Amino acid sequence: MTLLVAAVIVHDRDADRVVLLQRGENATFGRGMWDLPVGKSEPGEPVTGTAVRELYEETGLTVKPECLEVAHIIHGARGVEAPNGSLTVVFVAHEWTGEPENREPFKHARVGWVDVGSIPGNFVVTTARALHGYPAGGPGVALDGWS
């Protein structure tokens, strides 16, 4: 079975900043690297529900599923947590409530706003492509790990 994953680009257009997190030393993947709020779908959960739930669990921000727009799709080949591959739907949200906070300090070192012009270089490759490709407009598709 393919692992379904959702990620969210929370973009404050007025300040041109996005919410990012830095994975902590206990992270199972990408230790110390920057990433978008992202997580795995639970059985029977729609991918928009995954996006809303994971964003809240990781950052405390609340978005409505109907306010999410598809920004990018990443189809990953086999991985440690996804022996049959993964499909990550990256959404963008321009409307939210709350202020970002690190709600999972056992997983993340930091969570907060970062200026779009100052995105850290030490970023998870697949979600970095989605983040940098998003301003180009229209959903993109990335293949990761396929020959």
In eight-state DSSP terms, residue 21 is E
Residue, of 24 and 139, whose pLDDT is higher: 24
Which pLDDT score, from 0 to 100, does residue 11 have? 97
Q: Are strands 3-12 and 17-23 parallel, antiparallel or unpaired?
A: antiparallel
pLDDT band at 25 (very low <50, low <70, confident <90, very high): very high
Please give the full DSSP string across 56-102, using - where no structure is assigned.
Answer: HHHH--B--GGG-EEEEEEEE---SS-TT-EEEEEEEES--BS----
Decide: helix, strand or coil at residue 42: coil
Decide: helix, strand or coil at residue 113: strand
- Give the residues across from 51 on adjacent strands: none
**CATH number of residue 65's parent domain:** 3.90.79.10
What number is the average pLDDT over the span 97-120?
96
- Give which of 61, 6, 85, 65 is closest to 38, Cα–Cα: 6
pLDDT for 138 beyond 70: no
Task: Give the integer Cα–Cα distance in Å for 137 and 42.
Answer: 29
pLDDT band at 144 (very low <50, low <70, confident <90, very high): confident
Which pLDDT score, from 0 to 100, does residue 52 have? 98
pLDDT tens-digit series, residues 56-71: 999 999 999 999 999 9
pLDDT for 143 beyond 70: yes
Mean pLDDT of the chain: 92
Which pLDDT score, from 0 to 100, does residue 126 have? 86
Cα–Cα distances (Å) from 99 to 9, 19, 83, 103, 124, in that order, read 14, 10, 36, 11, 23
- Residue 37 sits in which domain range? 3-144
Domain total for the chain?
1
pLDDT for 139 beyond 80: no
| Predicted TM-score of the model (pTM) | 0.92
Q: Are strands 38-40 and 86-93 parallel, antiparallel or unpaired?
A: unpaired
What number is the average pLDDT over the span 81-90?
86
